[in-house]
């Protein structure tokens, strides 16, 4: 096994759950033993920090030796190498406070993250001047070793294949063949595990999408495939009058985006006020599945106002969609196409961001991460900064909330038990995506994209 595959295997195996619960330590007689040592990451103003608080519960009352050594100096931690190395880190405690309400409780402040499996060592001399040796206890934590890495370290691609400069794909006859694209949709549904009834309904939905509105059968397949995902409301939002214009979209087609030929897609208005979704002809040859996040994104833009936060939110939601899609169809990441490259870069930036849950996905800067896309030309510290830099023509942060974006975030919020909140509020969105990201999906994507800690 190479070092690279070893790192990837570590993330896949450890990210899914905490390690074993802590054990007790101590000695018989008057010296106390440890019933529990529980570490929690400190959170300040809603942001995760790189500090921890450890609550130590002893099994009996005790007296602290009044020697010259500060009480905090009697405690230290041994943290195993989360990458599997043989050398453990020795970590000192910054502060130790004994509870006035419960003398068996001691609170330790540590200036780093403490994962499950760390060992707490307490000098016996803290309680009895003549005592030698240590009392030990395994630490319970809200972070696994792999989560600790994700919460404090940027990941990067270990293979350039995922971000190779994708060229426009050639358009083949099968890209415009109804039967071929219907079969591609059917195969996609099989990979999603759709049952026979659901598959039949989705294929029937594909058949009903008006060709006059969506001429490309590939685009129709991608639109129908949004069924049974959090972005399903995009279908009716585009094809019916149930949107901010009060009219169905006029056209969803592969054509140069007006005034923005380099954009992958753009939402504009026809003369009659109906929406037009222009998909860049350079991506017509892409896999049908890769168009799904793009359509989910463009469906959000309904009014004629646009702000930086709106673009951040729309791109974050389409990238979150891509993470889940990629976990089911890993082959999408390595097609070497223009759209796959863009989605892979966005995925890495989303994984390396997260103000509230830096070990998950997010949009705001993570503590301990200097660049969301290390080893690339981008210096953006977060997903949000990366997306804002991609839209230099937009000079305002705020824009009116789009109803479809709120529908998306409300559906995600309901799934994780969060209250509804404004979809263009980046703090809210950051926490929502952090909670909504399934650790199993995250572990799968890390393995699929062959990510490892940046050097």
- Contact by Cβ (8 Å): 346, 352: no
Report how far residue 116's alpha carbon sits from residue 134's, in angstroms, rounded to the nearest whole number: 20
- Contact by Cβ (8 Å): 401, 424: yes
Which region among 291-295, 332-336, 407-411 has the lowest average model confidence (pLDDT)?
332-336
Report how far residue 424's alpha carbon sits from residue 305's, in angstroms, rounded to the nearest whole number: 13
CB environment 141-168: b (16+ within 10 A), e (fewer): bbbbbbbbbbbbbbbbbbeeebbeebee
pLDDT at 257 (0 to 100) = 96
Element (H, E) at 40: strand 34-44
What digits encode the pLDDT tens for the residues 95-123?
Answer: 999 999 999 999 999 999 999 999 999 99
Report how far residue 275's alpha carbon sits from residue 244's, in angstroms, rounded to the nearest whole number: 10
pLDDT at 371 over 90: yes
pLDDT at 429 (0 to 100) = 98
- Contact by Cβ (8 Å): 270, 284: no
What digits encode the pLDDT tens for the residues 401-423?
Answer: 999 999 999 999 999 999 999 99
- Contact by Cβ (8 Å): 429, 423: yes
pTM: 0.90
Give the CA diameter of the chain: 89
Using CA atoms, how far residue 207 sits from 200, 230, 252, in Å, is 11, 21, 16
When pLDDT is averaged across residues 205-234 and rounded to a whole number, the result is 98
Using CA atoms, how far residue 39 sits from 31, 77, 257, 395, in Å, is 23, 11, 52, 43
Element (H, E) at 77: strand 75-79
pLDDT at 19 (0 to 100) = 30
Which region among 153-167, 276-290, 391-405, 441-455 has the lowest average model confidence (pLDDT)?
153-167
CB environment 345-355: b (16+ within 10 A), e (fewer): bbbbbbbbbbb
Using CA atoms, how far residue 312 sits from 18, 230, 347, 391, 396, in Å, is 32, 18, 13, 10, 12
Backbone angles phi, psi at 89, to 5 degrees: -95, 135
Of the candidates 100, 111, 96, 115, the one whose C-alpha atom is nearest the C-alpha of residue 40 is: 115
| Strand segments (E) across 95-236 | 95-98, 105-110, 119-123, 134-138, 140-141, 155-157
Backbone angles phi, psi at 41, to 5 degrees: -70, 140
Bridge partner residues of 72 (DSSP): none
Report how far residue 266's alpha carbon sits from residue 301's, in angstroms, rounded to the nearest whole number: 9
The SS3 of residue 228 is: coil
Question: Residue 84's pLDDT band (boundaries 50, 70, 90)?
Answer: confident
Q: Which residue has the higher pLDDT, 393 or 165?
A: 393
pLDDT at 307 over 90: yes
pLDDT at 23 (0 to 100) = 35
């Amino acid at each position: 096994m190479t070092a690279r595959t070893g790192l990837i295997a570590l993330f896949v195996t450890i990210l899914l759950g905490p390690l074993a619960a802590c054990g007790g330590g101590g000695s018989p007689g008057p010296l106390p033993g440890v019933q529990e040592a529980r570490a929690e990451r400190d959170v300040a103003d809603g942001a995760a920090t790189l500090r921890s608080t450890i609550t130590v519960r002893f099994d009996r009352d005790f007296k602290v030796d009044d020697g010259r050594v500060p009480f905090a100096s009697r405690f230290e931690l041994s943290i195993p190498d989360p990458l599997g190395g043989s050398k453990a880190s020795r970590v000192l405690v910054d502060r130790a406070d004994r509870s006035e309400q419960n003398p068996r409780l001691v609170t330790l402040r540590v200036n780093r993250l403490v994962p499950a499996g760390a060992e707490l060592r307490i000098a016996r001399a803290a309680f009895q001047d003549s005592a030698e040796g240590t009392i030990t206890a395994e630490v319970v934590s809200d972070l696994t070793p792999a989560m600790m890495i994700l919460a404090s370290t940027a990941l990067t691609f270990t293979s350039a294949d995922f971000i190779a400069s994708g060229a426009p794909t050639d358009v083949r006859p099968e890209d415009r063949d109804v039967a071929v694209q219907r079969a591609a949709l059917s195969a996609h549904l099989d990979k999603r595990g759709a049952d026979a009834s659901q598959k039949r309904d989705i294929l029937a939905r594909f058949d009903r999408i008006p060709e006059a509105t969506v001429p490309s059968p590939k685009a129709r397949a991608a639109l129908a495939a949004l069924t049974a995902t959090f972005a399903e409301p995009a279908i009716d939002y585009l094809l019916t009058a149930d949107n901010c214009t009060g009219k169905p979209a006029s056209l969803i087609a592969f054509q140069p985006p007006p005034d923005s030929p380099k954009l992958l897609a753009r939402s504009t208005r026809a003369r009659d006020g109906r929406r037009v979704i222009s998909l860049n002809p350079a991506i017509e040859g892409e896999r049908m599945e890769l168009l799904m996040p793009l359509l989910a994104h463009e469906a959000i833009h309904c009014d004629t106002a646009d702000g930086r936060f709106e673009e951040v939110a729309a791109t974050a939601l389409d990238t979150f969609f891509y993470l889940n899609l990629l976990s089911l169809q890993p082959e999408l990441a390595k097609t070497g196409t223009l759209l796959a490259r863009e989605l892979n870069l966005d995925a890495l930036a989303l994984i390396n961001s997260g103000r509230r849950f830096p070990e998950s996905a997010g949009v705001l800067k993570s503590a301990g991460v200097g660049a969301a896309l290390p080893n690339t030309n981008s210096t953006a510290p977060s997903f949000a900064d990366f997306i804002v830099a991609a839209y230099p023509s937009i000079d305002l942060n705020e824009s009116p909330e789009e109803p479809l974006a709120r529908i998306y975030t409300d559906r995600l919020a309901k799934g994780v038990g969060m209250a509804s909140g404004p979809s263009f509020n980046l703090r809210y969105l950051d926490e929502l995506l952090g909670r909504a990201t399934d650790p199993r999906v995250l572990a799968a994507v890390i393995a699929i994209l062959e990510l490892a800690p940046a050097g």
